[in-house]
Amino acid sequence: MNTELHHLAAAYALGALEAEERDAFEIHYPGCDICSVEVVEFALTAAVLGERSLVHPRSEVRSVVMDRIAKTRQLSPLVEPPTLSVPRMGPGDAITGPTKQRVATLASKGVPAAGQWRASRLGRTVLATAAALLLVVAGAIVVGNRAEEPDLFAQLLDAPDAELTPLEGETGIVQVVWSPSLDRVAVLASSMPDPGAGMTYELWFLLEGGVVRAGLFAPGESGEVRHSWDVEDLDANGWGVTIEPVGGSDSPTSEVLYVGTL
């Protein structure tokens, strides 16, 4: 896998990777000494290729752009994360430096830049652990018939393209299961804190350049969350959860409390 990824920097710089490969490479290269240098060099090279035909757009384009930027908020810069308490991932799986930093960085910037995710061995362990946990949870849902819509959960989990993403946060993990083919998402958690009076949790699609709301959910009295609903068909590359006023917000107003990348 890694040997293959090492040879993708050139194709990546030319935009010649398919979405899945591009995502995988974007997770790989920031942590790879060879690829991270190559990506910069090949991007500079591709930019020169881009100069082959300089075409000035019509002046109307400039007016439209200037008009639109005046109504568009810029993203905040990336800042060093504040110190966070160390959340527990599971038995013996304390989050260590890089992962902790990643959570904090993603949280502090609200929107992740695709190129900045790092895959870690720990991340994969967490994923595996989470997958195992989810199977148990799913089993409980289906067998115990405790969920509101057990058949929808089962259907979602059985979908061949169902993707499980553990969202990491200070207070633990929230699982998101998503099936693009069913356009359905489920949120599962065992002990989420009460969001507070008049507040609710909101799940967000993390996209290349921003976030789109995915839906609202609230934990039960014991902090349990088992909620599933239909979502838009979007090319998401991760999930984030914030706390918003009841009814939800159009863009996140709190810091990102849980975050995970596909």
Partner 1 sequence: MILREFSANGQSTEALAPNSIRDPASCRVKMGDVNPIRRLRSVPVGMLDLSTSLRNTSLGDEASFGVFYDLTASLVHGVVLGVVKDPAIAEEVTQEVFLELWRLAPRFDSSKGSPKSWAATIAHRRAVDRVRSEQSRRTREERDRQRTPAEYDVVSEQVVEHLEQEHVVDALGQLTKTQREAVTLAYYGGHTYREVAVLLDVPEGTVKTRIRDGLIKLRDQFGVTS
Residues in contact with partner 1 by CB under 8 A are 7-11, 13-18, 37, 40-58, 60-62, 64-66, 68-70, 72-78, 113, 209-210
Closest distance between partner 1 and the C-beta of residue 181, in Å? 14
- CB closer to partner 1 out of 40 and 135: 40
- CB closer to partner 1 out of 72 and 85: 72
- Look up residue 161 and give its amino acid: D
- CB closer to partner 1 out of 207 and 262: 207
Closest distance between partner 1 and the C-beta of residue 187, in Å? 28
- CB closer to partner 1 out of 55 and 136: 55
Residues 6+ apart with CB under 8 A from 236: 178, 205, 206, 207, 212, 262
Buried residues in 15-34 as b, exposed as e (16+ CB within 10 A): eebeeeebbbbbbbbeebee
- What is the chain's Cα-based Rg? 20
C-alpha span between 132 and 111 (Å, rounded): 28
- Look up residue 60 and give its amino acid: E
C-alpha span between 111 and 189 (Å, rounded): 22
